[in-house]
Amino acid sequence: MLMRNLTRAALATTGIVVIMAGAASAQDKVKVTFLFDNAPSTVAMAEALAAAFEAKNPNIDIETESRPGGADGDNLIKTRLATGEMSDVFLYNAGSLFQAINPVQNLVDVTDEPFQANVIDSFKATVTGTDGRVYGAPIGTAMGGGMLYNIPIYKELGLSVPKSWAEFMANNEKIKAAGKTAVIQTFGETWTSQLFVLGDFYNVQAAVPTFAADYTAGKAKYATTPAAMKGFERQEEVFKAGYLNEDFAAATFPDGVTKIATGEGAHYPMLSFAVSNIKELAPEHINDVGFFAIPGDDAASNGLTTWMPAGLYIPKTSKHPDEAKAFVAFVASIEGCDVQTQSAGATGPYLVKDCTLPADVPPVVSDLLPYFQEGGHSAPALEYLSPIKGPALEQITVEVGSGIRSAADGAALYDEDVKKQAQQLGLPGW
């Protein structure tokens, strides 16, 4: 066995298992494969984590591999798990999409690993299987789903951050009148199309507090709940008003990040993690982009829909589960947080105990943090309150956002998509 000469020493301060050897010859090295999405910030972070871990563990080689995002990435994950060809460690969503990959059957139980003492409980709940066991650890930071905005455009036109949908649309009209793109969309990567719907959930819950439970039980639908319909309606409204960039159908996520940073558009509905992509793609404009929650009807109840970090998981088919656990433990440590901040930038609060952010965070992060702090207004995205998230949403929101399908038809079609998934999960009431 390749690992027969290795010894292990536990570091008491972090609970990390560090695997050591006297000499790291090529034949002694254990190769641990690591799969993650291809967003530039994720690639930079993953490769930095691999390099830092290898420096501490010379007998382990972390072989990195990127995959597409969105539906293509989901299909690849599910196919590799089904065929037994999954990487030793892989990065994937927490919440409802995590439930869809059948963690009890496919993943290694890490409930009792020492590193879990470092992980904040609110994250553990999002990577817990139907058996009550924990199957993942966090990578990255908590996020907000809202609106990136170009600060110089706002200053030039004398605009204020909107707290209501009416204020947001009034800002858009002034931006359009000034000859600028009001709202950037990047449907060349379909996953980016969902924020008007998913990022509106704080407003849905404020209007219908029981929506998540009723939705899971098959009692509430998007098409028949006016508050839930508004995300689709507002995406349709923005398209019909002519606020989008001309290349919205073909533009990609990196295009959108670059456009919002350089002032080619004023708003980009997106998760706040995109600040790390701004650092990668347009670093000289990192302080030109701010963030606000997607506004609802009432300015007085303005608040943010929040997302948990992604998770790191180990498939049961891994040939090197101990070494994979050591790598996951490193990521879920203070040192791992520091590597992530250095490589991808500070993008929000970490869900690992005692991890801190630098004082000089970009405006996107400083705008985001008050929503998470005491007295702030935030609520988890629906995918953390319900196991149901239909896989076709990103295609449906592309159609609604492009004027191909009406908001009403889109919501009804999504209800059918959700029904299929709920039945696959065996949920009662469907």
> In the chain, what are the domain boundaries?
7-142+308-344, 143-307+367-424
The whole-number pLDDT of residue 374 equals 67
- CATH 3.40.190.10 holds for 143-307+367-424: yes
Asked if 46 and 38 touch (Cβ cutoff 8 Å), the reply is no
* pLDDT tens-digit map of 311-344: 999 999 999 999 999 999 999 999 999 999 999 8
pLDDT per position as a tens digit, 14-33: 444 444 444 445 558 999 99
Cα dihedral 406, 95, 418, 70 sign: positive
CB 128 within 8 A of CB 305: no
Q: What is the pLDDT of residue 21?
A: 42
DSSP-assigned letter for residue 245? -
Closest CA to 194 of 401, 36, 39, 37: 401
Question: Where is average pLDDT lowest: 143-147, 241-245, 419-423?
Answer: 419-423
Check if the beta carbon of residue 271 is closer than 8 Å to that of residue 140.
no
Q: What is the pLDDT of residues 88-124, one digit of tens each?
A: 999 999 998 899 899 999 999 999 999 999 999 989 9
Task: Say whether pLDDT at 376 is over 50.
Answer: yes
pTM, two decimal places: 0.80
At 109, give phi and psi (nearest 5°).
-70, 120
Pick the CATH number of 7-142+308-344 from 3.60.40.10, 3.60.21.10, 3.40.50.1950, 3.40.190.10: 3.40.190.10
Partnered with residue 244 across adjacent β-strands are 183
- The pLDDT tens digits of the residues spanning 122-154 come to 899 999 999 999 999 999 999 999 999 999 999
pLDDT at 341: 94
Task: Determine the pLDDT at residue 425.
Answer: 85
| Phi, psi angle pair for 262, to nearest 5° | -95, 0
CA 231 to CA 223: how far, in whole Å?
A: 11
Proportion of the chain above pLDDT 90, given as a percent = 82
Cβ pair 340, 327 in contact under 8 A: no
Indicate if 143-307+367-424 has the same CATH topology as 7-142+308-344. yes
CA distance from start to end of the chain: 50
- The pLDDT, as a whole number, for residue 28 is 81
3-state helix, strand, coil split of the chain in percent (to 5) is 45, 15, 35
Residue 374: CB partners within 8 Å, gap ≥ 6?
A: none
372 — pLDDT class (breaks 50, 70, 90): confident
One-letter amino acid for residue 315 of the chain: P
Q: What's 259-305 look like in SS3?
A: HHHHCCCCEEEEECCHHHHHHHHCHHHHHHEEEEECCECCHHHCCEE
How confident is the model over 298-321, as a mean pLDDT?
Answer: 95
CB atoms within 10 A of CB 186: 25
